[in-house]
Amino acid sequence: MAKHHVTTTVNGDPVEYLCESEQTLLDCLRDELDLVGAKEGCSSGDCGACSVLLDGRLVCSCLVLGVEAEGRSVETIEGMAQGDELHPLQRKFLEHAALQCGICTPGILVAAKALLAKNPDPTETQVRYWLAGNLCRCTGYDKIVRAVMDAAAEMRGA
Amino acid sequence: MIPFSLQKASSVGDAIAAARAGARYIAGGTTLVDLMREEVEQPDRLVDINALPLKRLQADGDDLVIGALVTMSACAAHPDVKRLQPVISEALLEGASPQLRNLATMGGNLLQRTRCPYFRMLDAGCNKRTPDSGCSAMDGYNGNHAVLGTSSHCLATHASDVAVALVALDATMQVLGPNGERTFPVEDLFRLPGTTPHLEHTLQPGELITAIRVPGGRYAPRARYLKVRDRSSYEFAVVSAAALLDLENGVIREARIACGGVGTKPWRMRACEQALAGRPADRSSFELAARLSLAGAQARSGNKFKMELMPATIVRALELARDVP
Ligand SMILES: Cc1cc2nc3c(=O)[nH]c(=O)nc-3n(C[C@H](O)[C@H](O)[C@H](O)COP(=O)(O)OP(=O)(O)OC[C@H]3O[C@@H](n4cnc5c(N)ncnc54)[C@H](O)[C@@H]3O)c2cc1C
Ligand code: SF4
Ligand code: FES
Ligand code: FES
């Protein structure tokens, strides 16, 4: 079937790609744009490894069709650091050793950033509920939650 | 995924014309894309309805009118929903994850498909997915299946949380189709499985859900949604209950109850409601009434526990509703 031509913005840059109807946004990011930060864990909405922001809202890119990105703005983990300077969340994940295999990490960082954008001072419970859609098989979550709380404190200037 | 053609509808008329010609609507895609990837659903044409002007949510006096394309997260966070019917926000926030609620729409939520595991296993018999292929759950894993409204053909539950609250609230839905507009109770959207479990809803071919209307009432704020599940967030209901109470001096004028996780559709508990009218809002009235939920209930090997958990959940939900400050 005819390919769709999609014009969109990814991490602030205008981009274009061609995709089939059945390619998801995750497929397009990874296979058409070589942005392989977002991971495919389950492709069924369960794990959150594919989390990106679409028009500023956190979504699972595995359940969004690639054509849906037309005219929208997509933010991925690749846009999080400013050049060599890591985002405070990224730094705190390293400091707290909040990752092991790392498959869940891009999705969790993007999700945590979305949380702090709307709630700069979350409680531990709020962090845990917000990150409920991001599964991690390695860390047991504790270090992740602490890293997010610590980054939030630093970003608030506390 | 099996290749398909995709068209974007720019008007409601466009969308209905495409659907009439055989295309399936796609909104948030959180049910449809998932099932297409599994090849459980194999539409060859989709019509994307996301650009249609069905994203408005507004209060009309004490009623709420929720556009079909309002997302679960937008609906849950809307000040009029929190003010007029906080139980809707509660039911929505108890479901799925932030990522999913940002995509999933209210119309799509009502038409989500069952989470019976065999429905997704293409090599297992499942009358709902493949008519006349048998029901693997009947004598297989049926631990999270329905005890009400089942048939010898299917015992899968309807998995929506917010539908349970909407059914308790006597919400209605507006649909538009090739033959014009219709309005009917949300409760009447769902069919019982009978001998045709693959037919799940009463929409006519091409009909588009445009809005959900929730009548204002005496219940808010004494309305709560209680969801019992295997972990405290991000899991489908084992049993859930929406309970609404209209009280006067500790006596129940009227009660409304609907349950999820127990029926083949969101299940209104009218016998329990009638038993509560005129009774004091105490535990013994709640327990007596909740027992009536079991009328006609039938368990299989794995879901017998629901015969206890269902009335217990109703009692607890009623207590939560009564105790709303
Ligand atoms: C991992 C996971 C966990 C979940 N957990 C929960 C939970 O705990 N509680 C819960 O309630 N739900 C849960 N869900 C289900 C989720 O809420 C639904 O998938 C979602 O609401 C469907 O909406 P959508 O807009 O994405 O629908 P789509 O996938 O776009 O469509 C679903 C169906 O509805 C039809 N449709 C959509 N809009 C219209 C319309 N306006 N008119 C006519 N037909 C229409 C489509 O043709 C399709 O058949 C979960 C889903 C996932 C993937
Ligand atoms: S319970 Fe219904 S959905 Fe599950 S296997 Fe049986 S027919 Fe299929
Ligand atoms: S890959 Fe998208 S949620 Fe798992
Ligand atoms: S670090 Fe391995 S899944 Fe989270």
Q: Which residues contact B132 (CB under 8 A, 6 or more apart)?
A: none
Burial of B319 (0-12, 13-18, 19+ CB in 10 A): middle
Q: Is B40 in the pocket of ligand 1 (CB under 6 A)?
A: no
pLDDT over 80 (residue B298): yes
Q: Is A42 in the pocket of ligand 3 (CB under 6 A)?
A: yes
With 0-12 / 13-18 / 19 or more C-beta atoms within 10 angstroms meaning exposed / middle / buried, residue B257 is buried
Considering its fold, how many domains does chain A have in total?
2
Does residue A14 share a domain with residue A67? yes
Mean pLDDT of chain B: 97
Look at B97 and A132 and tell me if their CB atoms are within 8 Å.
yes
Confidence of residue B217 (pLDDT cuts 50, 70, 90): confident
pLDDT at B221 over 70: yes
Percent of the residues in chain B that have a pLDDT greater than 90, as a whole number: 96
Question: Could you tell me the two tokens for B246?
Answer: 């209209």
Q: Which structural domain range is residue A151 located in?
A: 88-156
B79 Cβ neighbours under 8 A, 6+ residues apart: none
Rg of chain A over Cα atoms, rounded to whole angstroms, equals: 16
DSSP, residue by residue, B62-123:
TEEEEETT-BHHHHHH-HHHHHH-HHHHHHHHTSS-HHHHTT-BHHHHHTPPP--GGGG-TT
Among the listed residues A2, A28, A1, the one whose alpha carbon sits nearest the alpha carbon of residue A16: A28
Among A52, A79, A106, residue at a domain's last position:
A79
CA B268, CA A151: separation in Å to the nearest integer? 46
User: Where residue B231 falls among pLDDT bands split at 50, 70, 90?
Assistant: confident
Render the burial of B27-55: b for 16+ CB within 10 Å, e for the rest. Answer: bbbbbbbbbbbeebbebeebbbbbebebb
**DSSP labels for A63-129?**
GSBGGGGTT-EEE-GGGTSBTTB--HHHHHHHHTT--SS-SSHHHHHHHHHHHHHH-SS--HHHHHH
Residue B245: φ, ψ to 5°:
-130, 135
pLDDT at B121 over 90: yes
Residues 6+ apart with CB under 8 A from A76: A10, A11, A29, A35, A37, A38, A52, A53, A106, A110
User: What are the extents of the domains in chain B?
Assistant: 5-51, 223-322
B9-24 per-position pLDDT tens digit: 999 999 999 999 999 9
Residues A21 and A73 in one domain: yes
Of the three residues A35, A54, A79, the one that is the final residue of a domain is: A79
Distance, CA of B252 to CA of B272 (rounded, Å): 12
CATH number of A42's domain: 3.10.20.30
Cα A134 to averaged position of ligand 4 atoms, centre (Å): 10
Task: Give the pLDDT band (50/70/90) at residue B166.
Answer: very high
Whether residue A58 sits in one domain with residue A109: no
CA atoms of A29 and B92, how far apart (whole Å): 30
- Name the one residue in this structure whose structure tokens are 């009909």: B207
Indicate yes or no: CB of B103 within 8 angstroms of CB of A64. yes
**A114/A60 Cα distance (integer angstroms):** 13
Q: Is the pLDDT of residue A1 over 80?
A: no
- Average pLDDT score, chain A: 97
Query: Is domain B5-51 given the CATH code 3.40.50.1820 in the classification?
Result: no
CATH number assigned to the domain covering B223-322: 3.30.390.50
User: Does position B218 have pLDDT exceeding 80, yes or no?
Assistant: no
Atom 21 of ligand 1, residue of closest alpha carbon: B109
In the DSSP assignment, the letter for residue A36 is -
How, if at all, do strands A4-10 and A73-75 pair?
parallel
Q: What is the DSSP string of B157-202?
A: PP--SHHHHHHHTT-EEEEEETTEEEEEEGGGGBPP-TT-TT--B-
Average pLDDT over residues B199-215: 97
Of A62, A79, A96, which residue sits at a domain end?
A79
Q: Are residues A63 and A119 in the same domain?
A: no
Instruction: Report CA(B95)–ligand 3 centroid distance (Å).
Output: 17
ipTM for this prediction: 0.95
Q: Return residues 2-41 of B near A (CB < 8 Å).
A: 2-6, 26, 28-30, 33-34, 36-38
Per-residue pLDDT band for B219 (boundaries 50, 70, 90) equals: confident
Please tell me whether residues A35 and A72 are part of one structural domain.
yes
What's the Cα-to-Cα distance from A44 to each of A69, B112, B156, rounded to whole Å?
19, 14, 20
Pocket residue to mutate for ligand 4, from A137, A142, A145, A148, most atoms within 8 A of Cβ: A137
- Whether B110 shows a pLDDT value over 80: the answer reads yes
Q: What is the mean pLDDT of residues B147-152?
A: 98
A104 and A130, same domain (yes or no): yes
The per-residue pLDDT for B234 is 85
Judgement on whether residues A24 and A69 belong to the same structural domain of the protein: yes
Residues written for chain A: 158
Q: Please tell me the distance between residue A157's alpha carbon and the centre of ligand 1 in angstroms.
A: 40
Q: What is the structure's pLDDT at A140?
A: 95
Q: Tell me what percent of the residues of chain B surpass a pLDDT of 70.
A: 100
DSSP code for A61:
G
* Phi/psi-derived region of residue B132, left when phi > 0, alpha when psi is between -120 and 50, beta in every other case: left
A81-86 average pLDDT score: 95
Nearest by CB to residue A1, choosing from B3, B29, B33, is B3
Q: What are the C-alpha distances in Å from B106 to residues A83, B22, B54, B161, B196?
A: 40, 23, 10, 11, 25
Average pLDDT over residues B84-98: 96
- Is the pLDDT at B222 greater than 80? The verdict is yes
